[in-house]
Structure 1
Amino acid sequence: MKTTDSTASRRRLAALCLGACLGGYLSVAQASSHREAPFITTQPKVDAADFYMFNSYEGVAADGSGGRAGFVTLIANYLPLQDGYGGPNYFSLDPNALYEIHIDNNGDAREDITFQFRFKNTLKAIALLINNKSVPIPIIQAGVVSASNAAALNLNESFSVNVIRGDRRTGLSAALTHVGSGSAVFDKPVDNIGSKTIPDYPGYAAQHVHEVNIPGCATPGRVFVGQRKDPFAVNLGVIFDLVNAPLGVITDPGLIAAGKDDLADKNVTELAIEVAASCLVADATHPVIGGWTSASLRQGQYLTPSPAKGHATTLIPGGGWTQVSRLGMPLVNEVVIGLPDKDRFNSSSPKDDLQFADYVTNPTLPALIEVAFGQAAGAFAPSNAGRNDLVTTFLTGIQGVNQLGMITPSEMQRLNTAIPAVPFANQNRLGIVGSILAGGSDFAGYPNGRRPKDDVVDISLIAMMGGLCMANGNANALGFGASCKPTAVPLGSTAFSLHDAVDQATRPLMPAFPYLDTPIPGAK
């Protein structure tokens, strides 16, 4: 893709990208998908919290060269809202589930490549001699842990990763293996129990970054699975309480960090894989890919009244795989899809997304914001009918930026792998939108994929309050037709100053793989 510095082109990109951000639809509640549907609240181990897809920026220079340029990082976060002190069992993943990351590289809204993660939890049943009797201990460690699969670990987690080409259930499947040893089994670090058990958690976790051979790809990749600090920052309680904050605060750029980050003390489990971009795209002339994550459970489950000795033996699964979680663009199910269809959306596939079109073309969230602040404050819901602009930007990708192949309308993240990565220190927290508004050149962020630093909440607030049609008064020139006109724009020019009073850019992150920061310990 070629970018241009012309003012007209920048304004066009700004408007288009704002629309795409609104497609997230208003990740304003929290650009993560914690507990978004009725059923998934009962199955936290397979609850997808965030999905990130970006051109790797580890070690890259200002011009996008060097370091890990040419690689794409895919991150799927699961099991949200973890407290560091959540012992004695902590937060192991479900060995009876499939955790998957899907790639569509031709635009037909069907997976062409799937990375499938399976987990195994091995109980060692460490025992101590008490009064000449060998008695199993009640916790998951019996001493200091400093190495992978340490002897003192009572429960060791491991996992495998298969790459499936074609349909995720019937396609050709092959195992990823360690570079060097050839093993198809990878150790996962235990959660950050505390500094007495694991004195150097960053060093311990780093032992679990695995260099891997990927079948069908000549270039090795990297894999990491483990607990991390939740990378997302959001004023969660306030926003879900009908945006319970003074309008003067959330429209003042000087108060961008005045609110409370409700996820600041939470951890999450990260599934990260880094793959050469050339191994993900259809070919060199089609650099755009789409991506999403899903989790599936067995269709039947038997709850035994007499669990056997061992670990997690109460539930006996059976039957075919059934998808129960799905996440592409942030927060679609949480604040776009209506309550009657939330479980249905989680079980659906992108190819079938037209069944949910009414939620995009007739969104209810702007009207709820109008209720929250009232028209007297200038908080009118945008009056544009049909929202064909959102269908274009949210369901088909942005022409000239990240539109993908056949353009089958579908909800997923879309990434142009040909746009150079931007070093962590130089990234604009408002992604493409922020760069255009400030005259910058960061086109490697949301909605062109999504990086951990991208402040999806603020971008979406701007879009929600009329930024899409404000960005260029001649809406027809943007290709959206008469349905996108700058009428009843709420808050006037201050729409571009909106924020949730929590600054995503201040969230601690790593500039290198696996990018998410060290998890909060149970005890320091």
Structure 2
Amino acid sequence: MKNLLYFIAGLLAVVCLQPSSAVASSHREAPLISNDPLADNTDLYAFRSPANDQNVVLIANYIPFEHPAGGPNWYSFGERIRYEIHVDNNAGTPGSEIIYRFEFKQMNEDPTTFFNIRLGKENLKTTYTCQRSMDGGRSFQTIISNGVVPPPNIGPRSIDNSTVGLGTTYDKQVEKGIMTASTGEKIFAGPVDDPFFVDLGIFDLGAVRSDNPRDAVARFNCHSIVIEVPIATLQRDRKPVSEAKNILDGDYVIGVYASASRQMIKTLYDGGDVGYDGEYRQVSRLGMPLTNEAIIPIGMKDRWNATKPSDDLQFAKYFSNPELALYMDDSQFGTAVPGLAPLRIQTNSLGAFDFRNGKPGLFSLKGTESVKGTALDEAAFGSILLPDNKSPRAVDLLPIFYTGVPNLPPYQLATGKGGRALRAGKPFINNFLPTLGDLLRLNMAVPVTPRTSADFSSLGLVQAAVLGLTDARYNASADMQFIPNMDGFPNGRRLEDDVTTIELQAVGGAVLAAIGLWYDDFIPGTTASPVTPNLVSVLGFKAGPTKNDKPFKTMFPYEAEPWRGFQGPSYEGKKVDAPAPPASMEFAVRVKSFSCTNGDIVFEAVNPAPGKTVEYSAAGVSVWTTNPNLRVEQELFWDNNSSGVLTLKARYLNEPGSQVSMEYDFRKQCSRARMAAEPTNATASFSINVLGNPTNKDVVAFDLRGNAGEAMEIGVSDASGRTLSHAAFNATGNVERRSVRIGRAPGIYFLKVGTPKETRTIKLLRE
């Protein structure tokens, strides 16, 4: 029997080593992860500290979708799991040079109660040991023993109440959890508000809701490991940032990934005991965000999570021809995913280069004089970046994820290139660490963009590229200079960065355009500016929410405190039999006043909570704002064919869950006599007949009658009032047929036709 048990144990060990038994990471994105959430990496961040620019902040988050009220046994870091943050600072040596390892343990201070916290005692109280290796894992040094993990933020009786609870505020618990390692690092491990923001409706076959997104992780918590460490500790030669040669010094590039590992064998005993044995094996990992969620196919996701970044070359084909690109290509499945319609990959960039899946991309230049002295030269990295004539995105997406981007042509902004994409241009990124593995790469020499700066943007390096191409402060020369948001994703990742939008824009060709491989509607020698409608469409795309549901802190540990499970007066002294408050006392929104002359509208909050700030929004009026004095968009206000029904919304600032709404029909409230005509004329003397409305095309034709001999102006704008096109004509015939281009994205557009006497506006629906 004993030999049989050993045989079974050995067989289990072999099975556990197979990739199919790995557990996934990043918000439940792989098949097996739902069975082991405590080991699930959700997000990874690496950025230069906004509070002390001599330091770098590393954040590894675990345990997705923690409900704040998830008692009686709240979420916690798992025992017998090794949580690790790996730092690679030398591409010439295999694996990570620096490893921070965390192991947690729990104990009950009062095992006689089923409560988590009672009478000042905490059950499942969690502490940790942190070890650090500076030699690639060959040896480890303990730098924190008995580290404090704050308790779950259960509610006012458990935390604040001095009689039955801990008698403190939760922010004080967080302060107690901030530790200083013996080697100088500042470390925090504990529950936080999940800082990620995303509309998971995108996984309903690309159902992007740009105009009305829902943050799927709003009001959920996770568990976080935060390390603030001096740059000199992470730099391969232990140099402080003051010794950097310039702001893109390649000696200051690091690559980071986080992982969780479990022992190979788990044994269940009678009586509820559990035993663990065997070596530790990686069961989840995370470097670049959304890699396993949106790039690796489902049949390979579990293998991905069991693989170390040093063995990632087997997955390179998914970056050179990403599945997502098929839904941004009308010759494939682009028309089937309207939510991604603003994103269309270059098929004939500069009249020569096709970057659709399976197409040559820049391969025709391989080995030519054109690429000599560039990163595409065979003497440099041409074998990786131009591997064959069927891997077009090996030139842009593969380096972003696998090698980092070097400060070499063609990976410099088009500024200063004189229209030739392969020439040297304006430097804006260098996070090159060619390990050929998925790592979050950060150049620690790049300065910090102040979070209070008007230039700070959640679009990270994409916004830096826009400024470098279009802003007079930065596009006057090709000289190296700091451009705001050069410290943003994909050069590291800040908490505020909208990585979902940035990565989708990148798949849509935004990086190619930034270096001078423009979109198809730019015709060299003909088109005046490369800032064409296609480029504007990509840069205007939003994948969903653009900020977290809670504001981040300005100081360590930077993430917001976890949502409280139970809160408010209903949990402090309210009687069980107390009647519910009358509907008249509930938080609501209404119209305080409306002008039938010009569409001025004043919102009003009804019964707002004391001390809380209210913000307002309505489609056709305004995005979220705390200013209640607004105006209906004029195209909508004067378009008598529209319903006139507005959906007014209000909520407390940074509390999406508090949203209330009402419908208001402003046409019904106003006299038809006052709303019947355009403000310039009471009677229209010419007519407009749109040929196809609604339409599923980008171009709409229409006939005009009754304005013979008159000058005419035609304009198209979107629902936000942004002008998309404008044209003027000196004289027109009695019947005039014209066509206009509207946006690619489904939605409402306005066709505005004006003569010296009058103006007409027609609403167009793009399906």
For residue 120 of structure 1, what is the aligned residue in structure 2?
105
For residue 204 of structure 2, what is the aligned residue in structure 1?
241
Q: Which whole-Å CA distance do the structure 1 matches of 2:321 and 2:553 have between them?
A: 39
Which among 394, 415, 437 is matched to residue 401 of structure 2? 394
Higher relative contact order (CA 8 A, sep 6+): 1
Which among 449, 465, 474 is matched to residue 436 of structure 1? 465
Please report how far the alpha carbon of residue 436 of structure 1 lies from its aligned counterpart in structure 2 after TM superposition: 2.8
For residue 213 of structure 2, what is the aligned residue in structure 1?
259
Pairing of 1:50-69 with structure 2 (within 5 A):
50-58=43-51, 68-69=52-53
Q: Which whole-Å CA distance do the structure 2 matches of 1:499 and 1:81 have between them?
A: 23
For residue 336 of structure 2, what is the aligned residue in structure 1?
374
Greater percentage in helix = 1
Please tell me whether Structure 1 or Structure 2 has the larger radius of gyration of its CA atoms.
2
Call closer, same or farther: CA 1:493–1:159 in 2, change over 3 Å.
Answer: same
SS in 1 for 2:156: coil
**CA RMSD, 1 decimal:** 2.3
Q: Which whole-Å CA distance do the structure 2 matches of 1:330 and 1:375 have between them?
A: 22
SS in 2 for 1:291: strand
Unaligned runs of 5+ in 1: 1-31, 59-67, 127-135, 144-150, 178-183, 215-219, 308-312, 476-488
Please report how far the alpha carbon of residue 375 of structure 1 lies from its aligned counterpart in structure 2 after TM superposition: 8.2
For residue 197 of structure 1, what is the aligned residue in structure 2?
158
Please report how far the alpha carbon of residue 46 of structure 1 lies from its aligned counterpart in structure 2 after TM superposition: 0.5
User: TM (normalized to structure 1)?
Assistant: 0.77
Unaligned runs of 5+ in 2: 1-24, 161-168, 245-250, 346-354, 362-389, 408-428, 472-482, 519-531, 568-767
Query: Over residues 87-126 of structure 1, what are the superposed CA-to-partner deviations in whole Å (9 max), with x where a residue is unaligned?
Result: 0110111111100000111024511010000001012344
Which among 431, 434, 441 is matched to residue 403 of structure 1? 431
Call closer, same or farther: CA 1:493–1:109 in 2, change over 3 Å.
Answer: farther
CA contact (8 A) 1:242 1:372 kept: no
Please report how far the alpha carbon of residue 72 of structure 1 lies from its aligned counterpart in structure 2 after TM superposition: 0.8
Q: Which whole-Å CA distance do the structure 2 matches of 1:303 and 1:120 have between them?
A: 19
Pairing of 1:87-486 with structure 2 (within 5 A):
87-107=71-91, 108=93, 110-126=95-111, 136-143=112-119, 151-168=120-137, 171-177=138-144, 184-199=145-160, 200-214=169-183, 220-236=184-200, 238-245=201-208, 250=210, 255=211, 258-283=212-237, 284=239, 286-307=251-272, 313=273, 315-368=274-327, 371=333, 373-374=335-336, 380=344, 383=356, 384=361, 385-386=390-391, 387-389=393-395, 390-400=397-407, 401-404=429-432, 407-426=434-453, 427-438=456-467, 439=471, 440-474=483-517
Q: Which whole-Å CA distance do the structure 1 matches of 2:548 and 2:130 have between them?
A: 32
Aligned length: 426
Query: Over residues 222-245 of structure 1, what are the superposed CA-to-partner deviations in whole Å (9 max), with x where a residue is unaligned?
Result: 010110001111111x11112224
CA contact (8 A) 2:400 2:490 kept: no
SS in 2 for 1:494: helix
Q: Which whole-Å CA distance do the structure 2 matches of 1:109 and 1:362 have between them?
A: 27
Q: What fraction of aligned residue pairs are identical, expressed as a percent?
A: 32
CA contact (8 A) 1:40 1:324 kept: no
Query: Over residues 7-52 of structure 1, what are the superposed CA-to-partner deviations in whole Å (9 max), with x where a residue is unaligned?
Result: xxxxxxxxxxxxxxxxxxxxxxxxx920122222211001000000
Please report how far the alpha carbon of residue 298 of structure 1 lies from its aligned counterpart in structure 2 after TM superposition: 0.4
Amino acid at match of 2:404: G
CA contact (8 A) 2:218 2:549 kept: no
Q: Which whole-Å CA distance do the structure 2 matches of 1:446 and 1:193 have between them?
A: 34
CA contact (8 A) 1:84 1:193 kept: yes
User: TM (normalized to structure 2)?
Assistant: 0.53
1:72 matches 2:70: no
Please report how far the alpha carbon of residue 57 of structure 1 lies from its aligned counterpart in structure 2 after TM superposition: 0.7
Q: Which whole-Å CA distance do the structure 2 matches of 1:341 and 1:356 have between them?
A: 9
